[in-house]
Structure 1
Amino acid sequence: MFDHGRSILRLEGLRKSYNLGKPNEIEVLHGIDLNIGAHDFAALVGPSGSGKSTLLNMLGLLDAPTAGELYLLDRPTARMSDAERTALRGAQLGFVFQFHHLIQAFTSVENVLMPLMLTNGKPSQKDRDHAIDLLSEVGLRDYVDVKPSDLSGGQQQRVAIARALVTRPALLLADEPTGNLDTKTADNVFELFRRFNKTLDCAVLIVTHDPRLSESCDRTITLVDGRIVSDELKAGSSVSQGTN
């Protein structure tokens, strides 16, 4: 057992099945136990079909488990209404995907502000200043009013990272975030995750097929056939994993 401080996300006996009650019912996740701590910088890996996408949907409160419980900041979520789950997700989770999903008609700062606009309506000047500060942090201070079509792929991904952090989330979930980037740009994006993990007290979980990326994380969680088969802490890391 390792003590890694405050728990951000905790799964207890999490199961997910599809086609419930039908002849073709299938269970994809088989009793997952997992703990993500406040300072964790972890990778989730596993072969195609292992259940990573399903687990990510559970972690991101995008879908509800069939059985078991998921606690986000010690709040049980399995029986929350869709509205409650959406509100909690918007306040405490940030998402970065392989495809940046920026709104082409919006400028960089408007894209970053989108999560706050969805929750609060028209952003305040304080919100805008915060968004500009984040764009500065990712090296895009001179691109605040530029639209995605005038940005490189790496710059667009950095806008997406700033957008994911604008709500000051407790946990950043990244799904193949460097999958469409060249090696140098991917390294830069990875270093941004690392920096924000340390400076913003934001736990990071990266879903990746890239062994180079996963080996650079402090912790590697391996999922096979809907079960966690290993949860390894990198030697010399100051962050410890939870109990599985």
Structure 2
Amino acid sequence: MSDAMSAHDGEQEVLRLEGLRKRYNIGKPTEVEVLHGIDLRLRRSDFAALVGASGSGKSTLLNLIGLLDQPSAGELFLLGAPTSRMLDAGRTALRGSTVGFVFQFHHLIPAFSALENVLMPLMVATGKPNAQQVDHARSLLAQVGLAGLEERKPDQLSGGQQQRVAVARALVTRPALLLADEPTGNLDTKSAADVFALFRRFNREFGCAVLLVTHDPRMAEQCDRTITLVDGRIESDQLRASGR
């Protein structure tokens, strides 16, 4: 990828939220609104931390952005496509091709090897993976420190190793947007730094926007941008001086 292409592609808007709201128990006495009109934009070059106290709405917002849940009002655009009126099949296809997920809990398939778990998003999308895709998955496992462990099942791996498999799985489709919810919570300091560096490389080299939910202020400080959520509203959205 040339520098000119990188600069141009980096400006492409991956995500746009316009007046996003989320209510639960609609029409009932217990109705509550958790998100109150969220406006947000992410470009391919963005590497952002989403921070906020427990109960501020971070997980709810992440689920909406990842098309795992639907907003009560407002619009969410992924790569320019409005999603609020999409049928489930369209939302599933867009999510599979555009978004990578790393959650606090890895959600690996116990019967599958590490390599098969990494390949799962490609298998869902296209069926049996080709040799190039298998090589790509092996390369990702090596980059997260799991070379030689490709055939191990999740119960043969430590918790930290399982999380690194989940990281490789999230990146295998080269997504336009990576959503990471406390992705290094189960890792030691060195492994956490390695995973963070891998996110950085994909952000810079492949134009993968990163939105990282973290309670760790040191990790948030390493991101280029910090979005602070307070009681379901964005209180601040700050670009660091060293950020792009």
* TM-score, with length taken from structure 2: 0.92
The answer to which structure, 1 or 2, has the higher relative contact order (CA under 8 A, 6+ apart) is: 1
Given that residues 44 and 203 in structure 2 are in contact (C-alpha distance below 8 angstroms), is that contact kept between their aligned partners in structure 1? Answer: no
Out of 80-89 and 185-194, give the one that drifted further. 185-194
Structure 1 segment 45-124 matched on structure 2, within 5 A: 45-124=51-130
2:209 is matched with 203
Q: CA deviation at 1:71?
A: 0.3
SS across alignment from 2:18:
strand
Unaligned runs of 5+ in 1: 239-244
1:242 is matched with none
1:135 is matched with 141
Deviation digits for residues 182-236 of structure 1 (CA, Å, limit 9, x no counterpart): 3332222222211221222211110111111111111000000100000011112
How many equivalent residue pairs?
236
User: Is residue 181 of structure 2 the alignment partner of residue 175 of structure 1?
Assistant: yes
Structure 1 segment 221-240 matched on structure 2, within 5 A: 221-238=227-244
Aligned-residue Cα RMSD (Å) equals 1.6
Residue type matched to 1:84 in 2? Answer: G
Out of 71-80 and 199-208, give the one that drifted further. 199-208
Distance 2:222 2:138 in 1: 29
Residue type matched to 2:77 in 1? Answer: Y
2:161 is matched with 155
2:17 corresponds to which of 11, 34, 41: 11
User: Is residue 171 of structure 2 the alignment partner of residue 165 of structure 1?
Assistant: yes
Q: CA deviation at 1:111?
A: 0.7
Q: CA deviation at 1:173?
A: 0.3
Q: CA deviation at 1:123?
A: 2.0
Residue type matched to 2:163 in 1? Answer: Q
SS across alignment from 1:68:
strand
Q: CA deviation at 1:135?
A: 1.8
1:36 is matched with 42
Distance 1:145 1:88 in 2: 30
Distance 2:93 2:139 in 1: 24
With over 3 angstroms needed to count, the CA separation of the structure-2 counterparts of 1:141 and 1:200, relative to structure 1, is farther
Out of 227-236 and 134-143, give the one that drifted further. 134-143
SS across alignment from 2:148:
helix
Aligned residues: percent identity? 70
Q: CA deviation at 1:162?
A: 1.1
Distance 2:86 2:185 in 1: 33
* TM-score, with length taken from structure 1: 0.92
Unaligned runs of 5+ in 2: 1-9
